[in-house]
Structure 1
Amino acid sequence: MKKSTFLVFIIVYLFFSISGFLFPFDSDWYRTLAKPDWTPDGSVIGIIWAILFGFIALSTAIVYQERGFGRHNSEYMSLLGINYILNQVFSYLQFNLHALFATFMDALFITITTLLLIFLAGRQNRFAGWLLLPYFLWTAFATYLSWLFYSLN
């Protein structure tokens, strides 16, 4: 593995993780929400995201190693950028604005862009695509959960 590939992994991981620092989990507000009984605990959600950010970063590093981030890979990079922004906005909408419907819509767009990323990454490296499958499954679950939070509150 090239140093630059490892650097891509670190940068992507840190960028995706930054929302946890910019928009911290509002546990007091979160506790007041009506939630399904099977809703994962906030600490479990944090651990899952930490693992998923590793998968996203590894997938992106593999894509970079395969083809770089030049013009020929602009479709993947653009979609990853959109997905990243949506991911960051989710935490802001939920924990700063407490905007549950907007959070649901954002989660839906994250899920859609993640599915598209699976196909774009998979075209370059099958393993890179598969690495994003847990991210897609989690965001689909988070979308459903966000809808329930909105509906119940």
Structure 2
Amino acid sequence: MRQLGSLVMIVIIVFGIGFVASLFKPDAWFEFLEKPSWSLEQQWMAPLWSINFALISISSWLVWTRRGVSRESVTAWWLLGIQLGLVVAWSFVLYSEKSLGLAVLCALGLGLAVLMNVVYFEKNSRAAAGLLLPYLLWTGYIGVFSVSLYWLNR
């Protein structure tokens, strides 16, 4: 029962921060930007982020249940916090601040943070690391998309 409670707590935290990121939405400015031909329609963003947030939650929970409150789990939480902070920052600087350059930096930082998380989680749980691989691919897409937006609209 205690493990279920920790999973629920992690899901609430991860999706709560995802909700904060979702408060920054594209407006008319974003709609008029030149986008790469391969960019996803906006309607796909929420479902894809939600899938990734679910994978992040389960992955983090696997490490948490394996390590409990320890130095390793605190490091895992810091890495998770950095990732989620960069998700919010990316949405904020892209959609609210309309800064394509800062969005690129946030996206690249996010990709690096996720990669660090995969490497760290693999030391604790292969399954946890594996669950982050789709998220790593997603952040790769976000990074290339951000660079493309910057390049096409500079």
Q: What one-letter code is carried by the residue in structure 2 that aligns with 1:125?
A: S
Determine what percentage of the aligned residue pairs are the same residue: 28
The alignment's C-alpha RMSD in Å is 1.6
What's the counterpart of residue 38 of structure 2?
A: 38
In 1, the alpha carbon distance for the partners of 2:144 and 2:22 equals: 25
Comparing 62-71 with 138-147, greater Cα deviation is found at: 62-71
What's the counterpart of residue 77 of structure 1?
A: 77
Whether the 8 Å CA contact 2:10–2:61 is kept in 1: the answer is yes
What's the counterpart of residue 68 of structure 1?
A: 68
Question: SS of the counterpart of 1:40?
Answer: coil
In the alignment, structure 1 residue 86 sits paired with structure 2 residue 86: yes
Comparing 27-36 with 98-107, greater Cα deviation is found at: 27-36
1:21 CA drift (Å): 4.3
Whether the 8 Å CA contact 1:69–1:77 is kept in 2: the answer is no
Measured against aligned partners, the alpha-carbon deviations of 1:59-95 in whole angstroms (never above 9, x if no partner) come to 0111111112433422222121111111111110011
Comparing 10-19 with 132-141, greater Cα deviation is found at: 10-19
Q: What are structure 1's unaligned runs of at least 5 residues?
A: none
What does residue range 106-117 of structure 1 map to in structure 2 within 5 Å? Answer: 106-117=106-117
Q: What are structure 2's unaligned runs of at least 5 residues?
A: none
What's the counterpart of residue 4 of structure 1?
A: 5
In 2, the alpha carbon distance for the partners of 1:27 and 1:69 equals: 42
What's the counterpart of residue 141 of structure 2?
A: 141
Runs (4+) off by over 6 Å: none
Measured against aligned partners, the alpha-carbon deviations of 1:13-70 in whole angstroms (never above 9, x if no partner) come to 32332234432x2242221010111110011122111110100011011111111243
1:114 CA drift (Å): 0.1
TM-score (norm 2): 0.90
